[in-house]
């Protein structure tokens, strides 16, 4: 029987590459999107399509209304998403409080339910834009905690948190996905993407995406407005 | 200026005692309930009232629809909640996958937003009914992870996870709350409580509550149907 994994899938470039890598590694993949009231709903629509094309299991979406506690331009409608050129601080305003911790915790719950051996998450410490919860030491600490938290862990079944992109640049991530034949035309990264999945071309996420395709020497299939 | 803390408040006996303890310790308390599709909505109503009577800050509720991923009698409507007498396994069916991890992660996000120094959670390893995420080693691992996950942690502000009930029996918890003048008549523990907050008297939670008041030598103010 195939080993099972949960893949956190946002519909963006990184998490979609993660799914392609998990599938190539022989895992039976259970995809999970977290809808935490973010503005880029286009990503969630993309994730459902990507999951359908790469897995046999039903894609799951868990809604978490982080809006009620606020604190980020991505979830708080009173804060403007800044353009890449306006970002100066080490930890940007687009940081969502405890985002990866909430994502991984929800994935942990799902991993218990489907009896998965691993959770894939597409964090990267290279182009990480100053998010503390993208560092290897954070991921290791989460894995340790996760194995103390669950029935499976108590019974000796070790759960792995797998981060195949953690040492890769955006360009290397794109090359990795491309090597598995993944079509990036399905993915949406833009913080301001419209309902049709078109990207603004000026936000921090678009900046890193454009730069990544350029450095990878791969044609960028993204539909940019700017 | 008072130190701030986030208190995870379900409206049950344990978490309400925790709030009374945090307040007595001099913290400015920010209460947080997680509505994860559980059946005991009566607890959530109770928590709002308890928060209002003990704190000056607005009580927050974060909705997380764990129903979509299933796996527990408390969130999956297709699984019956068993009576106390029917429970045999070490880890009961009322176990919610990764529950405390999801609760603490959400509290961690809120702690970042309000700049809190601590999170209070009313876990207890004594009457813990076999939940792995109520053990001290789990809590310590979460604290380590949390301090690697956040801006505050990266900048050297250490967040504490405080578990004042962890070594206490149900009777000792009741005595502790009573010593702070807390009125347990406001709290709801029952897994099957009705909209009026009346308890079934036969579920595992009612069993431990009745036993606790009896052993504490304190009159049980709960309105039991059975």
Taking only the tens place, the pLDDT of each residue in B45-71 is 899 999 999 999 999 999 888 777 766
Using the Cβ of A150 and the Cβ atoms of chain B, whether some distance falls under 8 Å is answered with: yes
A223 lies in some domain:
no
B191 lies in some domain:
no
- pLDDT: is A152 or B218 the higher one? B218
B137 lies in some domain:
yes
Strand partners, B60: B32
With beta carbons under 8 A apart, name residues in chain A contacting B105.
98, 101-102, 104-105
CA distance A148 to chain B (A): 5
B2-24: b or e for each residue (b if 16 or more CB lie within 10 Å)? eebbbbbbbbbbbbbbbbbbbbe
CA distance A40 to chain B (A): 19
Which of B71, B142, B145 is nearest residue A113 as measured by Cβ atoms? B71
B199 lies in some domain:
no
Residue with tokens 């807390």: B182
From the CB of residue B53, how many other CB atoms can be counted at a distance below 10 Å? 11
Range from A34-38, A161-165, B217-221 carrying the lowest mean pLDDT: A34-38
Residue with tokens 């209070």: B120
CA distance A52 to chain B (A): 18
Strand partners, A60: A32
Q: From CA A154, how far away is CA B135, in angstroms rounded?
A: 11
Preferred mutation among A65, A109, A138, A146 to probe B, highest tally of B CBs within 10 A: A109
- pLDDT: is A22 or B127 the higher one? A22
Q: From CA B212, how far away is CA B45, in angstroms rounded?
A: 23
Q: What is the mean pLDDT of residues A85-89?
A: 51
Q: From CA B103, how far away is CA A165, in angstroms rounded?
A: 28
Which of B100, B112, B133 is nearest residue A98 as measured by Cβ atoms? B112
B31 lies in some domain:
yes
Task: Report the mean per-residue pLDDT for chain B.
Answer: 86
CATH code for the domain of A28: 3.40.50.620
From the CB of residue A225, how many other CB atoms can be counted at a distance below 10 Å? 14
A224 lies in some domain:
no
Helix or strand (DSSP H, E) at B161: strand B160-162
From the CB of residue A54, how many other CB atoms can be counted at a distance below 10 Å? 20
pLDDT band at B192 (very low <50, low <70, confident <90, very high): confident
Asked if the Cβ–Cβ distance from A145 to B145 is below 8 Å, we say yes
pLDDT band at A80 (very low <50, low <70, confident <90, very high): low
A16 has a pLDDT exceeding 80: yes
In this prediction, residue A69 carries a pLDDT of 78
In this prediction, residue A198 carries a pLDDT of 87
Using the Cβ of B157 and the Cβ atoms of chain A, whether some distance falls under 8 Å is answered with: no
pLDDT tens string B102-154: 999 999 999 998 999 999 999 988 755 567 888 999 999 999 999 999 877 77
Which of B98, B109, B137 is nearest residue A98 as measured by Cβ atoms? B109
Residue with tokens 């977290």: A34
B207 lies in some domain:
no
Enter the tokens of residue B38: 């559980």
In this prediction, residue A72 carries a pLDDT of 53
Using the Cβ of B113 and the Cβ atoms of chain A, whether some distance falls under 8 Å is answered with: yes
Q: What residues contact residue B84 under an 8 Å CB cut-off, 6+ apart?
A: B202, B203, B204, B206, B207
User: Hey, what long-range contacts does A90-94 have (CB within 8 A, 24 or more apart)?
Assistant: A90/A130, A91/A130, A91/A131, A91/A132, A91/B151, A91/B154, A92/A129, A92/A130, A92/A204, A94/A129, A94/A191, A94/A204
Q: End-to-end CA distance of chain A: give it in Å, rounded.
A: 48
Enter the tokens of residue A173: 């991530």
With beta carbons under 8 A apart, name residues in chain A contacting B154.
91, 132
In this prediction, residue A191 carries a pLDDT of 79
Q: What is the mean pLDDT of residues B195-224?
A: 90
* Torsion of the alpha carbons at A20, A172, A129 and A39, rounded to the nearest 10: -40
CB B161 within 8 A of CB B187: no
Q: From CA A66, how far away is CA A97, in angstroms rounded?
A: 9
Secondary structure of chain A in the HEC alphabet?
CCCEEEEECCCCHHHHHHHHHHHHCCCEEEEEEEECCCCCHHHHHHHHHHHHHHCCCCCEEEEECHHHCCCCCCCCCCCCCCEHHHCCCCCCCCCCCCHHHHHHHHHHHHHHHHCCCEEECCCCCCCCCCCHHHCHHHHHHHHHHHHHHCHHHHCCCCCEEECCCCCCCHHHHHHHHHHCCCCHHHCCCCCCCCCCCCECCCEHHHHHHHHHHHHHCCCCCCCECC
Total domains in chain B come to: 1
- Residue B149's alpha-carbon distances to A138, A189, B138, B155, B157, in angstroms, are 6, 23, 16, 11, 12
Query: Phi, psi at residue B161, to the nearest 5°?
Result: -100, 115
CB B44 within 8 A of CB B35: yes
The conformational region for residue A98 under phi > 0 = left, psi -120 to 50 = alpha, else beta, is left
Helix or strand (DSSP H, E) at B204: helix B204-216
* Percentage of residues of chain A with pLDDT beyond 90: 56
In this prediction, residue B38 carries a pLDDT of 65
From the CB of residue B121, how many other CB atoms can be counted at a distance below 10 Å? 25
Q: From A141, which residue of chain B is nearest by alpha-carbon distance?
A: B145
Helix or strand (DSSP H, E) at B32: strand B28-35
Using the Cβ of A68 and the Cβ atoms of chain B, whether some distance falls under 8 Å is answered with: yes
Preferred mutation among B32, B109, B158 to probe A, highest tally of A CBs within 10 A: B109
In this prediction, residue A39 carries a pLDDT of 55
Residue with tokens 């900048």: B155
Range from A112-126, A134-148, B59-73 carrying the lowest mean pLDDT: B59-73
B200 lies in some domain:
no
What is the domain range of residue B110? Answer: 4-184
**H runs (alpha helix) in B31-117:** 41-54, 99-114
Q: For residue B152, give the nearest of A132, A14, A174, A30 by alpha carbon.
A: A132
């Amino acid at each position: 029987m195939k080993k099972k994994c949960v893949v956190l899938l946002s519909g963006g470039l990184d998490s979609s590459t993660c799914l392609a890598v998990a599938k190539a590694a022989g895992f039976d993949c259970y995809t999970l999107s977290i809808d935490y009231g973010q503005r880029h709903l286009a990503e969630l629509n993309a994730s459902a399509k990507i999951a359908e094309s790469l897995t046999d299991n039903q894609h799951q979406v868990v809604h978490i209304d982080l809006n009620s506690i606020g604190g980020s331009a991505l979830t708080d409608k009173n804060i403007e998403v800044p353009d890449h050129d306006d970002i100066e601080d080490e930890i940007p305003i687009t940081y969502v409080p405890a985002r990866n911790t909430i994502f991984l915790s929800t994935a942990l719950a799902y991993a218990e339910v489907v009896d998965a051996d691993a959770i894939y998450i597409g964090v990267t410490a290279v182009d990480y834009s100053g998010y503390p919860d993208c560092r290897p030491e954070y991921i290791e600490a989460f894995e340790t905690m996760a194995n103390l938290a669950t029935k499976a862990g108590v019974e000796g079944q070790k759960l792995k948190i797998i981060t195949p992109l953690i040492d890769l640049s955006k360009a290397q991530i794109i090359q990795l996905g491309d090597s598995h034949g993944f079509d990036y035309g399905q993915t949406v990264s833009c913080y301001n993407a419209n309902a049709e999945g078109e990207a603004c071309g000026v936000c921090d996420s678009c900046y890193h995406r454009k730069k990544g395709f350029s450095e990878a020497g791969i044609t960028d299939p993204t539909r940019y407005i700017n």
